[in-house]
Structure 1
């Protein structure tokens, strides 16, 4: 599994996940939508931990900086 996420992308995903989790536990978002957003937050945390997003692979996107060539 080749990394395809930059550190900026990972930080943004962690922040979004934290907001979604906060909304769920503050009872702002409840019911089925709350569960869906909680699962989405989990996916964001997982993908940011491993620096790999399967959707990026499907669309040919990579936010990783290109390696320097010498």
Structure 2
């Protein structure tokens, strides 16, 4: 598993993920959607922390700047 998420992408994922998680916890969405929001935000935060997005290789995307093998 090689890193494929660059610095700017990581920052955007962390900010967006935290915002979506906060929205889910604050109850700004109806009950079942709170769980969906928290799960989606958690995926964003997790992919930012591990520097790898499983969809990027499928879509041939690499924002890391390093050439992926």
TM over 0.5: yes
Which residue does 1:36 correspond to in 2? 36
**Counterparts of 1:43 and 1:53, CA distance in 2:** 9
- Any runs of at least 4 consecutive aligned residues in structure 1 with deviations exceeding 3 A, and if so which? none
Contact 2:20-2:37 at 8 Å conserved across structures: yes
Q: Can you list the C-alpha shifts for 1:17-54, whole angstroms capped at 9, x where unaligned?
A: 11111112221013111111110111111110110000
Q: Structure 2: which 5+ runs fail to align?
A: none
Over the residues paired in the alignment, what is the CA RMSD in angstroms? 1.2
Which residue does 1:64 correspond to in 2? 64
**Counterparts of 2:21 and 2:57, CA distance in 1:** 26
Q: Structure 1: which 5+ runs fail to align?
A: none
